[in-house]
């Protein structure tokens, strides 16, 4: 019956639109699509398997080297000899094949690809990393795949996938002061549930709300509901104001078919926090305040951008991190770091007692630079809080916005910025 759907040309979701345009036929949810891939992204942790698949299994070189990027970000700089060896092989592979390499210190893959304009409206971007849904912020169909699929895409310039069904997310009202895109994302995940959108595309109808960075936070969290993609509809002038060319055909059609529709009332939202050990275990921060915290981590592909560091600095200016707590701040990229250097943000954070780290993933997945000991409690601006994620299985992780994380660092316990005593200059 697939031929029939082509002829009738029903209204399409954004995922259906992009996958039809980049493939050779009109497709709808459930159809199989064979599509051109505009960019393939490989992270350090997967680089060795990717290279092995390319060389040993496929005996191929990248068909379009300019469409492949390797990013050394997850454990950067290297922490052990075997990590160093894997990174050395990745560098050599890039030199041999002519694919792009973003080396230690350039930053987290998703942030770097967006900064480098290697994810654009209407593009298909595949990454060897689950948070590749982030590219949906710039209206690209971004999705994570394993080393084998990633290698096939690099070797052929194409991929095949089942067209996902779509969930429509609408927003009403306006965020109140102190409530951020992170809180919106956590609320969205709570409503959908940790597996609630498995293999679906979450299509967020944001209108002219949310900056590019905020859209990245929203799209990034979508994979935590199991989503294949997280697409933010490029409403208003938001994307064009960043210089993007937004083709008409990426917009979803009126009357497209959604499997589920939800609405998030922004006005009703309070600062939110995801408590251990599932991302959808979401509560108001006010309910959790007072819990002693050992480490606060501000960074990651979810919330390591300049506006996140600004939000943290606004809280930490003329204040000090609690002596019982350590605060790690890791900018998402070298560009973010430079901006934060030039505008004084890093100095504010440093003076408040933050420990500043090399742009990259930092301790997000517990491999280095801030691994947690048994029994320790961490408030992190990242996207995952499952058992053992940042180190010991008996450590606990709470996920929150940068402002809440910063307030927590000052109080040494879970806190809202409004809980803080007046700053003393």
Ligand X SMILES: CC(C)[C@H](C(=O)O)[C@@H](O)C(=O)O
Per the annotation, where are the binding residues for [4Fe-4S] cluster?
301, 361, 364
| Residue 74 interacts with ligand X (CB under 6 A): yes or no | yes
Find the binder of ligand X among 16, 31, 38, 129 (CB under 6 A).
Answer: 129
User: From the CB of 211, what's the least distance to ligand SF4, in Å?
Assistant: 19
Euclidean distance between CA atoms 255 and 265, whole angstroms = 22
Contacting range for ligand X; rule: CB under 6 A; set: 38-46, 329-337, 346-354, 371-379: 38-46
> How far, CA to CA in Å, does 420 sit from each of 67, 73, 325?
48, 34, 15
| Residue 83 interacts with ligand X (CB under 6 A): yes or no | no
Residue 233 or 365 having the CB closest to ligand X: 365
Q: How many CB atoms lie under 10 A from the CB of residue 176?
A: 13
Residue 361 or 409 having the CB closest to ligand SF4: 361
Task: Answer with the entry of ligand SF4, ligand X, none that 20 interacts with (C-beta below 5 to 8 A by kind).
Answer: none
| Residue 187 interacts with ligand X (CB under 6 A): yes or no | no
Euclidean distance between CA atoms 330 and 303, whole angstroms = 10
Q: Residue 228, class by beta-carbon neighbours within 10 Å (0-12 exposed, 13-18 middle, 19+ buried)?
A: buried
| Residue 295 interacts with ligand X (CB under 6 A): yes or no | no
| Residue 130 interacts with ligand X (CB under 6 A): yes or no | yes
Residue 329 or 364 having the CB closest to ligand SF4: 364
Residue 71 or 411 having the CB closest to ligand X: 71
Q: Give the closest residue to 153 by CA, choosing from 76, 63, 241.
A: 63
User: From the CB of 130, what's the least distance to ligand X, in Å?
Assistant: 4
Q: Give the closest residue to 250 by CA, choosing from 18, 9, 8, 11.
A: 18
User: From the CB of 340, what's the least distance to ligand X, in Å?
Assistant: 23
Secondary-structure percent of the chain, ordered helix, strand, coil, rounded to 5: 40, 20, 40
Task: Answer with the entry of ligand X, ligand SF4, none that 108 interacts with (C-beta below 5 to 8 A by kind).
Answer: ligand SF4
Instruction: Give residues with Cβ within 8 angstroms of 397, minimum separation 6.
Output: 276, 277, 372, 377, 378, 379, 380, 384, 385, 389, 390
> How far, CA to CA in Å, does 388 sit from each of 35, 293, 303, 378?
37, 17, 21, 12
The tokens describing 291, both together, are 């819990």
User: From the CB of 188, what's the least distance to ligand SF4, in Å?
Assistant: 17
Is residue 151 within 8 Å of 134, Cβ to Cβ?
A: no
User: From the CB of 144, what's the least distance to ligand X, in Å?
Assistant: 6
Residue 13 or 130 having the CB closest to ligand SF4: 130
Residue 250 or 400 having the CB closest to ligand X: 400
User: From the CB of 125, what's the least distance to ligand X, in Å?
Assistant: 14
User: From the CB of 107, what's the least distance to ligand X, in Å?
Assistant: 13
Task: Answer with the entry of ligand X, ligand SF4, none that 122 interacts with (C-beta below 5 to 8 A by kind).
Answer: none
Give the residue carrying structure tokens 């004084």. Answer: 344
Is residue 159 within 8 Å of 149, Cβ to Cβ?
A: yes
Which residues here bind ligand SF4, judged by CB under 6 A? 74, 108, 129, 131, 300-301, 361, 364-365, 382-383
Phi/psi at 115 (nearest 5 deg)?
Answer: -60, -35
Binding site for ligand X (CB under 6 A): 43, 45-46, 74, 129-131, 144, 365
């Amino acid at each position: 019956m697939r031929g029939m759907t082509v002829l009738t040309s029903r209204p399409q979701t954004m995922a259906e639109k992009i996958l039809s345009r980049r493939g050779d036929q009109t497709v709808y949810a459930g159809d199989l699509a064979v599509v051109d891939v505009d960019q393939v992204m490989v992270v350090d942790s997967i680089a060795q398997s990717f290279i092995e698949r390319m060389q040993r299994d496929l005996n191929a070189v990248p068909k379009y080297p300019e469409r492949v990027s390797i990013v050394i970000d997850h454990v950067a700089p290297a922490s052990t000899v075997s990590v160093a060896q894997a990174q050395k092989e990745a560098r050599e592979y890039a030199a041999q094949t002519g694919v792009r390499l973003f080396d230690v210190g350039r930053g987290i893959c998703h942030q770097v690809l967006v900064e480098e304009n290697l994810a654009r409206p209407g593009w298909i971007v595949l990454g060897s990393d689950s948070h590749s849904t982030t590219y949906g912020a710039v209206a690209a169909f971004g999705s994570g795949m394993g080393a084998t699929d990633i290698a096939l895409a690099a070797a052929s310039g194409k991929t095949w996938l089942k067209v996902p069904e779509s969930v429509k997310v609408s927003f009403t009202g306006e965020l109140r002061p102190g409530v951020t895109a992170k809180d919106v994302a956590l609320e969205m995940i709570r409503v959908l549930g940790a597996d609630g959108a498995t293999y679906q595309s979450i299509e967020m109808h944001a209108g002219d709300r949310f900056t590019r960075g905020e859209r990245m936070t929203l799209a990034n969290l979508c994979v935590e509901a199991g989503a294949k993609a997280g697409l933010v509809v490029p409403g208003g002038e938001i994307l064009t104001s960043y210089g993007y060319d937004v083709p008409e055909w990426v917009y979803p059609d009126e009357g497209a078919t959604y499997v589920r529709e939800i609405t998030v009332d922004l006005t009703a939202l309070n600062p939110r926090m995801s408590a251990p050990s599932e991302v959808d275990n979401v509560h108001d921060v006010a309910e959790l305040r007072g819990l002693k915290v050992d480490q606060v981590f501000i960074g990651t592909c979810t919330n390591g951008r300049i506006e996140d560091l600004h939000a943290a600095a606004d809280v930490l200016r003329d204040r000090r991190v609690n002596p019982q707590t350590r605060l790690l701040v890791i900018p998402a990229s070298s560009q973010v770091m430079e901006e934060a250097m030039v505008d004084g943000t890093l100095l504010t954070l440093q003076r408040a007692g933050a420990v500043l780290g090399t742009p990259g993933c930092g301790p997000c997945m517990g491999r280095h630079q801030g691994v947690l000991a048994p029994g320790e409690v961490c408030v992190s601006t990242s996207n995952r809080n499952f058992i053992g994620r940042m180190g010991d299985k008996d450590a606990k992780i709470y996920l929150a916005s940068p402002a809440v994380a910063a307030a927590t660092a000052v109080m040494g316990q879970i806190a809202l910025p409004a809980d803080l005593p007046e700053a003393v200059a």
